Amino acid sequence: MTSPSGQPPLGIAHFTTIDVPPLDFVALAAKVGFSAVGLRLHPAFPGAPFYEIRPGSAQMRSIRSLLTQTGLRVYDIEFVVIDANFAADALIPMLESAAELGARRLSVCGDDPDHRRLVASFASLCDVAAGLGMGVDIENMPWRRVARIQDAAAIVGEADRPNGGILVDALHLSRGGGLPIDLRTIPSHFIRSAQLCDAVAERPTTFDEIIREARAGRRLPGEASLPLQDLLAELPADVTLSVEVPNQGLPPPDHAKAVFEAAMQVLAAHALAKPTPPRAPSARQARRE
């Protein structure tokens, strides 16, 4: 989780400052100090904000040029819901845009009540994404069918696609009833990505309250009670980290800077903490070794 400079690379999810369009978002992230961005190119739910970037367009060329100038990369594209009406082929235009941007992963959640069909849909999406050089990460969300981190692991395991993986979100892990130690039951090579944020210790009592917290009640990393140090200790060493803390009215540059500085303090504390027994190397690490 460390870069050649010794400072952990850190990305920022677009939902953190979703009102900032992609070109300005890349510029903002670079100025603050992030190493990567996620971009919202698909609506997470009906009416949710997202941005369309057409392949070969002037907007696409401007973003690619800025990425080159700043050294940033687009790590992931979000956010797709796999439900009963899902069709992987319908996402090809969006995935082609993602591939042109150099994105590595697509983030999804699962909300199909038919488990077998959900697994098949995830597998088909992995196949489509693989043709464009991308992988797919499924994220558990307590109000969806894939509610727990174990549910996400089951989908990845049953789909059995080499580019399939899990996105571990600190808030969703907690609100889905999970603890960092639960990651020990999941194969390391399933865990590709992780998002940091913080929240109060008490879990909301209804799904509506959980949704409101996820979309408008997250706190800066290290500012509240989620066990972020324990989570960092359990994540594979080659996981890709980002932060997702939706803005609640601050000027976007101020909010992005506050999120970055808070997350870096958490990562610095982890680096200075007493070493814990490392997880077994993931399949990706084993191949490199």
What does the pLDDT look like over 95-115, one tens digit per residue? 999 999 999 999 999 999 999
Q: The whole model's pTM is what?
A: 0.92
Query: Contact, 100 vs 74, CB < 8 A?
Result: no
Distance CA 154, CA 234 (A): 19
What are the residues whose beta carbons fall under 8 Å from the beta carbon of 188, sequence distance 6 or more?
236, 279, 280, 281, 282, 283
pLDDT of residue 287: 42
The model's confidence at residue 272, banded by pLDDT at 50, 70 and 90, is: confident
**Digit-coded pLDDT (tens) for 8-18:** 699 999 999 99
- For residues 85 and 48, the model is more confident at 85
> What value does the mean pLDDT of the chain take?
93
Total residue length of the chain: 289
First to last CA, the chain: 17
What are the residues whose beta carbons fall under 8 Å from the beta carbon of 232, sequence distance 6 or more?
1, 266, 267, 270
**Digit-coded pLDDT (tens) for 106-141:** 999 999 999 999 999 999 999 999 999 999 999 999
Alpha carbon separation from 160 to 98, 164, 248, 266 (Å, rounded) = 23, 7, 39, 34
The residue written with tokens 């680096």 in the block is 271
Q: Which of 225, 149, 222, 219 is nearest to 187 (CA)?
A: 149
**Digit-coded pLDDT (tens) for 168-213:** 999 999 999 999 999 999 999 999 999 999 999 999 999 999 999 9
